[in-house]
A = this chain, B = another copy of it.
Amino acid sequence: MGKALAEAALAAGHEVAIVSGPVEVAYPAGAEITPVVTTDEMLEASRRIFATCDGAICAAAPCDYRPEKIAVQKIAKTGEPLTLHLIETPDVCATLGLEKSPEQWLVGFALETEDQRFRALVKLERKHCDLMVLNGPQAMTSEDNAVEIMDRSGGIIASVSGDKGDVAREILRLVQERLIARSLRTPPSRQPPNT
């Protein structure tokens, strides 16, 4: 979905920066790609790059947890059960939401398997997103997706399904209509750079 969004954003004339975990995805050549491995690295790169952007779409599904300890060598099987202790990773999208300026916009993705709209609304508010895209686990590794798009009121403003490219173009159209055109109507509080 990240690749499809980057392609749609490039086609709409945006400059695109991608922060991506280690996935087997051929991102478009026109995007500036920052590869990361851990969620901590994704947070650091996303904060740094977001500071120079008009908005961000957080389509990644970063790891929610990481192992408390990481074995230096391969763990040999012993015949006994194994217990993994996991601790939460930082929330990349929520951190951008806390740090964003009033002129910046933020779109989050929520992947839920139950109580989808309620949980997505909680995430939208907690992460300070302007729009939240709701999808299910069937989106992963599929060419297609079926999403609902929620605005800050909690209302579903669009339902889109089909090829991920079509879904991405519709998300970009809504970003343009609801977030970019809106901010153009509202004069920014910053001074333009040439004055």
A111 interfacial by beta-carbon distance below 8 Å? yes
With a CB–CB cut-off of 8 A, which chain B residues contact A74?
A: 111-114, 137
A119 interfacial by beta-carbon distance below 8 Å? yes
CB of B73 within 8 A of CB of A113, answer yes
- Nearest opposing residue in chain B for A119, CB measure: B76
With a CB–CB cut-off of 8 A, which chain B residues contact A68?
A: 81
Tallying the copies of this chain within the complex gives: 2
Tell me the minimal C-beta distance from A91 to chain B in angstroms.
8
Q: Identify the interface centre among A74, A112, A141: most chain B CB within 10 Å of its CB.
A: A74
Tell me the minimal C-beta distance from A12 to chain B in angstroms.
29
Tell me the minimal C-beta distance from A177 to chain B in angstroms.
31
Near B by CB (< 8 A), chain A positions 77-129 give: 77, 79-88, 111-114, 119
Q: 7 A-B residue contacts at CB 8 Å?
A: A24-B141, A74-B113, A77-B88, A79-B88, A81-B87, A82-B87, A83-B86
